[in-house]
Amino acid sequence: MMLKNIVFMGTPAFAVPSLKLLAAGAFRPVLCITQPDRPKGRKRRLAPPPVKVAAQELGIDVIQPEDVNDAEVISLVKELQPDVVVTVAYGGYLKKAIRRLPRLGCINLHPSLLPRYRGSAPINFALFHGDVTTGISIFRIVAAMDAGPLLRQLEVSILPGECYTALQDRLSILGADELLKTLTDLAEGTAAPWQQNHDLATFSHKLTHPDFCIDWHKSATEIVNRVRGLAEAPGAVAQFRQEPIKIIDVTPLNQKTTSSPGCVIDVRKNQGIVVSTTDTDLLITRVQPAGKKIMPAYAYHLGAQIESGELFSNGL
């Protein structure tokens, strides 16, 4: 059985591989719904979301409602009579009126092993907690957030030292493949949903300013995990000489801290900046000063002339 009139909903770059893979085969969407253009960059110019750009390149119709649950959107989707609505990091809540329109319901791709890390920042949280595995979950959308019956799961190992952007890119590719398999199962009538264990649910909240700030009073392991969970973008933030600076990459050192948290212990030629934590020291290897590109920490020192005893503070 063919799936007809698939509607795709997504917004960031994470959703683009799924859209492209579906468009290249038997599950080409007839409509793409994405978020409106938003201000971006230092000049705050309106920029289209990556999914809009991809859909236009693929020749797929795009709409950008402020509220996907508006009557006009409901009417448009109803006219299409879709078999399924596919969402990948869309960024909006689907109310009952739109969830009940597709014959086979609405399904969502989520980058975690549900019920772990329901919510908006599952990849960040997996790295914040030092997890060694994560995964892809595809499920039917219900009223409760990320709580619907599972259609497919894939466990994925987190590579040593892997940062947020690298893991996100890898999961976006793997997730697209899993989504294609799920739609194939739905088309062939072989999908066999199973319920999540809600008692095991954990949550990943939308990141706010404090989540981006390095607390040098934490352990070295916790700081490494925070940096990994935000690198290379958006980046974990500290303060140095009363200016914000993003810490992009750090390496734990097997030497016990003897100075106050955040204190510069040493600058190692062609390596980086040694900074103290509450337990062991860290080597900062890459940074991104405000308004500049990512650079080696030692190169930053050559311009800033950092001295031992100076302090990185918490960035709050």
Rounded Cα–Cα distance for residues 86 and 109 (Å) = 8
Segments in the chain forming alpha helices (H)? 16-23, 50-58, 71-80, 96-99, 122-128, 164-188, 209-212, 220-228, 297-304
Task: State yes or no: cis peptide before 115, omega within 30 of 0.
Answer: yes
C-alpha to C-alpha distance for 77 and 106, rounded to whole angstroms: 12
Cross-strand pairs, 263: 311
Query: Which pTM was predicted?
Result: 0.95
> 98: left (phi > 0), else alpha (psi -120 to 50), else beta?
alpha
> Half-sphere exposure of 56 toward its Cβ, with a 13 Å CA cutoff?
9
Token pair of 301 as six digits? 């020192």
What is the distance between the alpha carbons of residues 75 and 183, in angstroms, rounded to a whole number?
24
CATH architecture of 7-204: 3-Layer(aba) Sandwich (3.40)
State the pairing for strand pair 85-88/106-110: parallel
Residue listed under structure tokens 């949903």? 193
DSSP for 198-224?
A: GGG--EEPPP-HHHHB--TTS-HHHHH
Tally of residues, the chain: 316
Select the CATH number that applies to the domain covering 209-313 from these four: 3.30.365.10, 3.10.25.10, 2.40.440.10, 1.10.540.10. 3.10.25.10
| Tens-binned pLDDT, residue by residue, of the chain (316 aa) | 689 999 999 999 999 999 999 999 999 999 999 999 998 877 788 999 999 999 999 999 999 999 999 999 999 999 999 999 999 999 999 999 999 999 999 999 999 999 999 999 999 999 999 999 999 999 999 999 999 999 999 999 999 999 999 999 999 999 999 999 999 999 999 999 999 999 999 999 999 999 999 999 999 999 999 999 999 999 999 999 999 999 999 999 989 998 999 999 999 999 999 999 999 999 999 999 998 999 999 999 999 999 999 999 986 6
Burial degree of 178 (CB within 10 A; 0-12, 13-18, 19+)? buried
User: Structural domain boundaries of the chain?
Assistant: 7-204, 209-313
